[in-house]
Amino acid sequence: MELKEILAISGQPGLYKYVAQSTRGVIVESLVDGRRMNASANARVSALSEISMFTEGDDIALADVFTRIYAHTGGKAAIDPKSSPEALKAAFAEVLPEYDRDRVHVSDIKKCFSWYNLLVGVGFTEFKLPTEETAAAEE
What would the pLDDT profile of 39-82 be if each residue is shown by its tens digit? Answer: 988 999 999 999 999 999 999 999 999 999 999 999 899 999 99
Rounded Cα distance, 66 and 80, in Å: 15
**pLDDT digit string, tens, across residues 103-135:** 999 999 999 999 999 999 998 888 876 665 444
Is 2.30.30.730 the CATH classification of the domain at 3-48? Answer: yes
* pLDDT given for residue 130 in this prediction: 64
Query: Which residues in the chain are classed under CATH 2.30.30.730?
Result: 3-48
CB burial of residue 111 (10 Å; 0-12, 13-18, 19+): middle
Contact 89, 109 (CB under 8 A): yes
* pLDDT given for residue 1 in this prediction: 72
Query: Which residues in the chain are classed under CATH 1.10.10.1650?
Result: 52-121
Q: Domain 52-121: state its class.
A: mainly alpha
Contact 27, 40 (CB under 8 A): no
* pLDDT given for residue 132 in this prediction: 52
pTM for the predicted model, two decimal places:
0.87
